[in-house]
Amino acid sequence: MLELDGSFGEGGGQILRTCLALSLVTGKAFHLRNVRARRAKPGLQPQHLMSVRAAAAVGQAEVRGDSLRSGDLVFQPGSVVPGKYQFDIGTAGATGLVLHTIYLPLAWKTAAPSEITFTGGTHVKASPCFHFLDTTWRRYLELLGIHVGLRMIRPGFYPRGGGVVQASVQPCARIEALRLMEWQGVRRITGVSSVAGLPEHIAARQARRATSRLQRGAIDVNIKEQTWQGGPGTVLTLELDSKPVPALFFGLGERGKPAEKVADEAAEQALAYLAARQPVDLHSADQLVLPLALAEGASELRVAELTSHLLTNVAVIRQFLERDIVCEGKEGKAGTVAIR
Polymer length of the chain: 340
Residues 23 and 161 in one domain: yes
Task: Report how many domains make up the chain.
Answer: 2
**Residue 88, burial from CB neighbour count under 10 angstroms (0-12, 13-18, 19+):** middle
Query: Do residue 162 and residue 192 come from a single domain?
Result: no
Same domain as 230, residue 166: no
Same domain, 59 and 108: yes
Q: Is residue 47 part of a domain?
A: yes
Judgement on whether residues 150 and 265 belong to the same structural domain of the protein: no
Query: How far is C-alpha 44 from the chain's CA centre?
Result: 18
Beta bridge partners of 224: 192
In this structure, are residues 301 and 280 in contact, taking their beta carbons and an 8 Å threshold?
A: yes
Residues 46 and 138 placed together within one structural domain of the fold:
yes
The answer to whether residue 151 sits within a structural domain is yes
Residues 62 and 167 reside in one and the same domain: yes
Q: Residues 211, 172: one domain?
A: no
Write out pLDDT tens, residues 277-304. 999 999 999 999 999 999 999 999 999 9
Same domain? 115 vs 205 = no
Output the pLDDT for position 215: 86
Q: Does residue 230 form part of some domain?
A: yes
Determine the Cα–Cα distance for residues 268 and 263; give it in Å rounded to an integer.
Answer: 9
pLDDT tens digits along 251-272? 999 999 999 999 999 999 999 9
Does any domain span residue 289?
no
What is the value of pTM for the model shown?
0.96
pLDDT reported for residue 339 = 98
Q: Residue 128 sits in a domain of what CATH number?
A: 3.65.10.20
Do residue 145 and residue 163 come from a single domain? yes
The answer to whether residues 268 and 199 belong to one domain is yes
Where in the sequence numbering do the catalytic residues fall? 309
Task: Let me know: does 131 contact 249? Beta carbons within 8 Å.
Answer: no
| Reported confidence tier of residue 217, pLDDT bands at 50, 70, 90 | low
What is the rounded CA–CA span in Å between residue 7 and residue 10? 7
Domain that holds residue 261: 188-276
Q: What's the pLDDT tens digit per position in 24-67?
A: 999 999 999 999 999 999 999 999 999 999 999 999 999 999 99
SS3 letters for the chain? CEEEECCCCCCCHHHHHHHHHHHHHHCCCEEEECCCCCCCCCCCCHHHHHHHHHHHHHHCCEEECCCCCCCEEEEECCCCCCCEEEEECCCCCEHHHHHHHHHHHHHHCCCCCEEEEEEEECECCCCCCHHHHHHHHHHHHHHHCCCEEEEEEECCECCCECEEEEEEECCCCCCCCCEECCCCCCCEEEEEEEEECCCHHHHHHHHHHHHHHHCECCEEEEEEEEEECCCCEEEEEEEECCCCCCEEEEEECCCCCCHHHHHHHHHHHHHHHHHHCCCECHHHHHHHHHHHCCCCCCEEEEECCECHHHHHHHHHHHHHCCCCEEEECCECCCEEEEEC
